[in-house]
């Protein structure tokens, strides 16, 4: 058995335009001595339509579109938030929750608004509050699907990771990206956006997916 083609490259292409994801991949892959490139380095690649029904399907779409265009192995991440009180929404629509070109701030505002509305209607269980008085609005889970695609063989290697938390009505911390400021991690009694890159990697959905994926490349 030999190593996967990806590991023959000094620079690893991650098919994302999300700067927060790029920082996290760069942090993780640097430990393997690899430099991380992203779609910011390849502006010629057209916008990728993420029309899969699952995180895994979308990760495969991003990896294949980019890998077939560049002719090198490509890693892709599709991820998002499943909120229990919203029956798993926004899920694969997490990036577009507040609209097609929504910012993280827009999405976070909408999430708090929707959950507060359901609480005011009395249709959700009371989950209590934190020491600083902020309310716990709903249990939630981050999910990350990774797909690695090699255009030379047409083969995919895939992995998934999750992390459980609770959505709060006020932000905690200014690290991370996306929904991190609203994602409380009960296990650590801290907010996801209060963690360092290294701490987030140790517990996050993306960190877990990478820990499942990377060993598979040693004997692919």
Ligand X SMILES: O=c1nc[nH]c2c1ncn2[C@H]1C[C@H](O)[C@@H](COP(=O)(O)OP(=O)(O)OP(=O)(O)O)O1
Catalytic residues: 78
Q: Which of the stretches 91-99, 153-161, 178-186, 192-200 binds Mg ion when contact is defined by CB under 5 A?
A: 91-99
CA distance 193 to 184: 9
Q: How far is the CB of 219 from ligand X (least distance, A)?
A: 28
For the CA atoms of 195, 198, 202, 207, the dihedral, rounded to the nearest 10 degrees, stands at: 110
What mask of x and - would describe binding to ligand X in positions 40 to 79, judged by CB under 6 A?
A: ----------x--------------------------xxx
CB neighbour list of residue 83: distance below 8 Å, 6 or more residues apart: 89, 90, 111, 115, 138, 139, 140, 167
178 in a known ligand binding site: yes
Is residue 95 close enough to count as binding Mg ion by CB under 5 A?
yes
Burial class for 126, CB neighbours closer than 10 Å (0-12, 13-18, 19+): exposed
Is residue 25 close enough to count as binding ligand X by CB under 6 A?
no
Among 142, 201, 207, 213, binds ligand X (CB under 6 A): 142
- DSSP bridge pairs for 12: 36
Nearest-CB residue to ligand X?
178
Residue 177 contacts which entry, Mg ion, ligand X, none (Cβ below 5-8 A, type-dependent) = ligand X
**Contacts (CB under 6 A) with ligand X, residues 110-139:** none
CA distance 21 to 178: 10
Is residue 76 close enough to count as binding Mg ion by CB under 5 A?
no
138 in a known ligand binding site: no
Residue 206 contacts which entry, ligand X, Mg ion, none (Cβ below 5-8 A, type-dependent) = ligand X
**Contacts (CB under 6 A) with ligand X, residues 148-207:** 176-180, 204, 206
CA distance 87 to 118: 12
Nearer to ligand X, 81 or 137 (CB): 81
Calculate the alpha carbon distances from 62 to 13, 39, 55, 68 in Å.
11, 10, 11, 10
Q: Which residues sit in the known binding site?
A: 16-21, 78-79, 177-180, 200, 205-206
* Residues contributing to the site for ligand X (CB under 6 A): 16-18, 21, 50, 77-81, 94-95, 107, 142, 176-180, 204, 206
Q: Which residues sit in the known binding site for Mg(2+)?
A: 78
* Residues contributing to the site for Mg ion (CB under 5 A): 95
């Amino acid at each position: 058995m030999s190593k996967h083609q990806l590991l023959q490259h000094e620079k690893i292409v991650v098919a994302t335009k999300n700067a927060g994801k790029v920082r996290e991949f760069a942090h993780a892959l640097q430990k393997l001595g690899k430099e991380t490139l992203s779609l910011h380095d390849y502006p010629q690649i057209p916008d990728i339509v993420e029309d899969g029904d699952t995180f895994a399907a979308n990760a495969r779409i991003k990896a294949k579109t980019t890998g077939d265009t560049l002719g090198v192995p490509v890693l892709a991440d599709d991820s998002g938030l499943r909120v229990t009180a919203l029956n798993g929404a926004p899920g694969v629509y997490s990036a577009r929750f507040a609209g097609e070109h929504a910012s993280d701030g827009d999405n976070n505002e909408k999430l708090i608004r929707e959950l507060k509305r359901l609480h005011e209607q009395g249709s959700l269980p009371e989950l209590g509050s934190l020491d600083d008085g902020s309310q716990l609005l709903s249990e939630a889970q981050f999910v990350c699907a990774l797909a690695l695609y090699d255009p030379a063989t047409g083969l995919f290697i895939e992995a998934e990771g999750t992390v459980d938390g609770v959505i709060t009505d006020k932000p905690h911390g200014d690290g991370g990206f996306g929904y991190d400021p609203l994602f409380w991690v009960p296990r650590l009694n801290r907010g996801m956006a209060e963690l360092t890159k290294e701490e987030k990697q140790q517990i996050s959905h993306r960190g877990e997916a990478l820990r499942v994926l990377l060993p598979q490349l040693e004997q692919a």
